[in-house]
């Protein structure tokens, strides 16, 4: 039954609805918390006129750190505890590729951080652009490794290594050299660096952890994201080889991400609140029409969703208002606190 009243000793939890939050542009911007987010979390945690708690999860396309580390950071920013059991980032579903690929090129992120993330997922053999530059510094004419990068990189004879897949885990810190290395591998013979295929028929698959062309960071205007690197790589491959390149992306708006989120929410509600049923409605709060709103709407109307997924667009990130969003949300509000209030009002 719906928790519609409180007792003096404990706060009840609703089993009827739940929230899922995007992070950048909704809760955080350029590493700083958006003030409305702190109040929104308080409302969810029971500070509302019905005295109920409302379960919630976080679904970001961002990445570059382990889920654990990201939750510690988010806990500090939101001034409450966030658990990895309620958190999905762009590269979380990439852990399923461990079954398929042994040796992978992992691109993006700060230093060698993403190597650590990938190894944590269980990848047996992780190669980074740093390893390749250390082995042959002529790979990237305009990039030399810093002392730290050199120390942390692992050179070996790449002519003998079969790199089976390319995984872009987080935003590239150096597009030119990362793209050179990805192209070298795509154009190689049998996935061996240093060789060139005659046919370009044996390119390894490329996976991006998401497809956001732009995102909301500290600057007033949106900044280029991983989806822009994807567009650029595909165009460059075409320019150099004359062939089209098909790449893959995880993250929102992919249905798989929302299915993953459904499983996570089910598990989270069961483990922390003892609720063993699906909520009737999940309110998804996002700032990017192409990822958050599109994904929520498409999942809602797909056969794979077991309940209503209700999209709410805020004006604090990629979308700023004033124009018609490219994908129409069920509701548009100023910020995440208003989004939470909107959901609650709809329920009572």
- Residue with Cβ nearer ligand G3P (25 or 289): 25
Do residues 343 and 330 lie in contact, with contact meaning Cβ atoms separated by under 8 Å? Answer: no
The answer to the question of residue 296 lying near ligand G3P (CB under 6 A) is no
Interaction residues for Mg ion, span 286-315 (CB under 5 A): 287-288
Least CB distance to Mg ion at residue 10 (A): 34
- Residue 14 or 335: which CB sits closer to ligand G3P? 335
Binding mask 298-337 for ligand G3P (x = CB under 6 A): ----------------------------------------
Q: How far is the CB of 241 from ligand G3P (least distance, A)?
A: 28
Candidate residues 24, 131, 178, 300; the one interacting with Mg ion per rule CB under 5 A: 24
Name which of 262 and 288 has its Cβ closer to ligand G3P: 288
Q: To which residue do tokens 């994904």 refer? A: 295
Q: Please report how close the Cβ of residue 94 comes to Mg ion at its closest, in angstroms.
A: 19
- Give the shortest CB-211-to-ligand G3P separation in angstroms: 9
212 binds Mg ion (CB under 5 A): no
Q: Which candidate, 85, 34, 77, places its Cα nearest to that of 58?
A: 85
Least separation, in Å, of the C-beta of 219 and ligand G3P? 13
Nearer to ligand G3P, 112 or 171 (CB): 171
- Selected binder of ligand G3P within 12, 17, 20, 24 (CB under 6 A): 24
Find out whether 139 and 132 touch, Cβ atoms under 8 Å: yes
Q: Is 329 in the site for Mg ion (CB under 5 A)?
A: no
Which distant-in-sequence residues (6+ apart) come within 8 Å of 283 by Cβ?
17, 18, 19, 20, 310, 312, 339, 340, 342, 343
By the rule CB under 5 A, 279 interacts with Mg ion:
no
225 binds ligand G3P (CB under 6 A): yes
**Residue 25 touching Mg ion (CB under 5 A):** yes
Q: Per-residue x/- marks for Mg ion, 230-269, CB under 5 A? A: ----------------------------------------
Residue 237 or 250: which CB sits closer to ligand G3P? 250
Interacting residue ranges for Mg ion, rule: CB under 5 A: 22, 24-25, 287-288
Q: Which positions lie near ligand G3P, rule CB under 6 A?
A: 22-25, 60-62, 171, 210, 212, 215, 225, 288
């Amino acid at each position: 039954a719906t928790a519609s009243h409180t007792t003096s000793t404990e706060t009840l939890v609703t089993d009827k609805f739940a929230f899922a939050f995007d992070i950048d542009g909704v809760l955080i911007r350029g590493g700083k918390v958006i003030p409305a987010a702190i109040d929104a979390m308080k409302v969810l945690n029971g500070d509302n006129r019905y005295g109920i708690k409302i379960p919630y999860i976080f679904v970001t396309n961002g990445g570059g750190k382990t889920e654990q580390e990201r939750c510690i950071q988010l806990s500090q920013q939101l001034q409450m505890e966030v658990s990895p059991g309620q958190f999905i980032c762009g590269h979380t579903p990439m852990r399923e590729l461990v079954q398929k690929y042994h040796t992978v090129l992992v691109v993006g992120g700060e230093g060698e951080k993403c190597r650590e993330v990938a190894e944590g997922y269980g990848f047996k053999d992780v190669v980074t652009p740093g390893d390749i530059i250390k082995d042959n510094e002529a790979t990237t004419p305009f990039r030399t490794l810093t002392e730290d990068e050199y120390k942390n990189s692992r050179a070996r004879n790449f002519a003998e290594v079969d790199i089976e897949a390319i995984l872009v885990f987080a935003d590239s810190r150096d597009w030119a050299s990362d793209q050179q290395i990805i192209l070298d591998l795509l154009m190689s013979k049998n996935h061996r660096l240093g060789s060139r295929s005659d046919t370009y028929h044996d390119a390894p698959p490329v996976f991006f952890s998401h497809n956001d062309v732009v995102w909301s960071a500290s600057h007033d205007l949106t900044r280029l994201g991983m989806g822009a690197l994807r567009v650029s790589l595909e165009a460059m491959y075409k320019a150099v080889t004359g062939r089209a390149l098909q790449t893959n992306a995880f993250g929102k708006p992919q249905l798989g991400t929302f299915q993953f989120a459904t499983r996570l929410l089910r598990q989270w509600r069961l483990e922390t609140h003892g609720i063993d049923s699906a909520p009737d409605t999940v309110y998804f709060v996002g700032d990017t029409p192409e990822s958050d709103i599109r994904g929520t709407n498409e999942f809602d109307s797909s056969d794979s969703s077991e309940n209503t997924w209700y999209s709410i667009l805020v004006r604090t990130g990629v979308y700023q208002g004033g124009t018609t969003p490219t994908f129409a949300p069920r509701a548009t509000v100023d910020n995440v606190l208003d989004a939470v209030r909107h959901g609650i009002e709809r329920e009572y």
